[in-house]
Amino acid sequence: MVTGASSGIGAALARELAIAGWDLLVTARREQRLLVQQQELEEKHGVRVTVHAADLANPDDRAGLLAAIDTIPGGAACLVHAAGSAAWDRFEQLDPVQEGRRVSVATTATVELVGQVWPGILARDDGLLIIVSSLAAWQPTPYMATYAAGKAFQRSFAEALGAEAAAAGSSARVLALCPGPVDTEFAWVAGTQPLAERVPVLKPVELARETLKRAGAHKGSVAYVPGWRNRVSATAAAVLPRGLVTRISERNHRPR
């Protein structure tokens, strides 16, 4: 099952999973995009793709999606939770209701979706959970304050579940995917194109391939930061004093 499958990283991961022969349940709000993707993946890769449009910030839509997951024959072996978005501005300039909705996609939806598939993933030899967090999970991010807080939740949650799985002797693999800038619609939605122009940007297809390779190469949990520059940045954020990291982050993300 792949969330955020209508675009960007989720769409690229859905395509790579289809190439690897997985049947898919794909979800996002834009149903038409999902239907086009369904046709392409079924024709090219001979897999079965089920479309279920849902707004993950909407509790009723989430309940409908959980019910759809229940109908997957044998249960979901893999969940990729890629849905997410951000807005870039001073917090007082942002709509707190919209911010809350974005946070619920990163937090409540993450917990509910993972909760629905986790027992099955734990029990299988090929169980796989990929939560698309962000490099922003490593530090408070002024001007994207709720976004980074939600991503920190996702990273911590994934790492903890991976450790639980390993301690229980499960073969489940859990990946907190923590990319820096990726060339998707994200920057257009968030208004962060000027930020993305300051740093190297990954292609979603390369990210998806590397992520699945990485996911296959370990058991338990790992936070995967693609790209050496991003890894240096994450390591620095982990070892430097939090106040200093936050001040540097403020300067790096300040709208000019």
Ligand X SMILES: NC(=O)c1ccc[n+]([C@@H]2O[C@H](COP(=O)([O-])OP(=O)(O)OC[C@H]3O[C@@H](n4cnc5c(N)ncnc54)[C@H](OP(=O)(O)O)[C@@H]3O)[C@@H](O)[C@H]2O)c1
CB of 171 to ligand X, least distance (A): 26
CB 220 within 8 A of CB 162: yes
224 a catalytic residue = no
Nearest to ligand X of 120, 204 (CB atom):
204
Residue nearest to ligand X (CB): 8
Cα–Cα distance for residue pair 101/103, rounded to 1 Å? 5
151 a catalytic residue = yes
Q: Give the active site residue among 44, 143, 151, 219.
A: 151
Binding site for ligand X (CB under 6 A): 4-10, 28-30, 55-57, 82-85, 105, 132, 134, 179, 181-182, 184-186, 189
Which are the contacts of 163, defined by CB distance < 8 A and separation ≥ 6? Answer: 220, 221
Please count the other Cβ atoms lying within 10 Å of the Cβ belonging to residue 97. Answer: 8
How far, in whole angstroms, is CA 151 from its chain's centroid?
Answer: 9
131: which 2 tokens?
């939560």
CB of 90 to ligand X, least distance (A): 20
Nearest to ligand X of 6, 170 (CB atom):
6
CB of 4 to ligand X, least distance (A): 3
Instruction: Let me know if 148 is exposed, middle or buried by CB neighbors in 10 A (0-12, 13-18, 19+).
Output: buried
CB 154 within 8 A of CB 162: no
Nearest to ligand X of 149, 166 (CB atom):
149
CB of 210 to ligand X, least distance (A): 14
Nearest to ligand X of 174, 182 (CB atom):
182
CB of 132 to ligand X, least distance (A): 4
Please count the other Cβ atoms lying within 10 Å of the Cβ belonging to residue 119. Answer: 11
109: which 2 tokens?
């939806």
How far, in whole angstroms, is CA 87 from its chain's centroid?
Answer: 16
Cα–Cα distance for residue pair 172/219, rounded to 1 Å? 6
147: which 2 tokens?
């976004």
Nearest to ligand X of 124, 206 (CB atom):
206
CB 89 within 8 A of CB 41: no
Q: Give the active site residue among 44, 143, 147, 203.
A: 147
Active site residues: 147, 151
